[in-house]
Structure 1
Amino acid sequence: MKVKPFLAIALLSGAYIVPATLQAQDASKPVAIQFAKGASSKVIKGSIRGDQGRLYTINIKAGQTLKVKLVTSNSSSYFNITAPGAQEALFIGSTEGNSYSGVVPSSGNYTIDVYLMRNAARRNETANYTLTVSATGK
Structure 2
Amino acid sequence: MKTKAFAFLVAGLALFAGPALADEQAAIDGCIAQLKKVGGPDGQSGQVVSSDFSEAGTLVMLRDAGGTVWKCIGYNDGTVGDMSVVEGMDDGGGAMAGAADEGSKTTRVEFEAGNDNASKRGKVTGDGYHDYLLGARAGQEMSVSLITEGTCYFNILPPGSNGEAIFIGSRDGNDAIGLKLPKDGDYTIRVYLMGNDKDSGQTVHYQLSMTIM
Q: Which of 47, 61, 82 is the equivalent residue of 2:157?
A: 82
Residues 51 and 90 of structure 1: CA distance in aligned 2, closer, same or farther (over 3 Å): same
Deviations 1:43-101 (A, max 9, x none): 10111111221011100000111010000120x11000000113411111100000112
Q: For 1:117-136, list aligned pairs within 5 A.
A: 117-136=194-213
Structure 1: 4+ residue segments shifted above 4 A: none
Q: What TM-score do you get using the length of structure 1 for normalisation?
A: 0.77
TM-score norm. by structure 2 comes to 0.51
1:91-102 paired onto structure 2 within 5 Å: 91-101=167-177, 102=179
Q: Name the SS for the 1:35 alignment partner.
A: coil
Quote the residue 2:74 is aligned against.
none
Number of aligned residues: 116
- The corresponding residue for 1:105 is 182
Report which structure shows greater RCO (CA 8 Å, sep ≥6).
Answer: 1
Cα distance in 2, alignment partners of residues 29 and 82 from structure 1: 15
- Unpaired runs of 5+ residues, structure 1, are 3-21
Asked if 2 retains the 8 angstrom alpha-carbon contact of 1:61 and 1:104, the reply is: yes
Unaligned runs of 5+ in 2: 1-39, 42-97
Does the Cα contact within 8 Å between 2:158 and 2:188 map onto a contact in 1?
Answer: yes
Where 1:89 maps in the other structure, the secondary structure is: coil
In structure 1, how many angstroms separate the alpha carbons of the residues matched to 2:192 and 2:160?
A: 20
Secondary structure at 1:105 match in 2:
coil
Contact 1:68 1:132 in 2 (8 A): yes
Question: Does the 8 Å contact 2:104/2:128 carry over to 1?
Answer: no
- Do 2:126 and 2:193's aligned partners in 1 also have CA atoms closer than 8 Å? yes
% identity of equivalent residues: 36
Change (3 A) 1:54 1:29: closer
Bigger proportion of residues as helix: 2
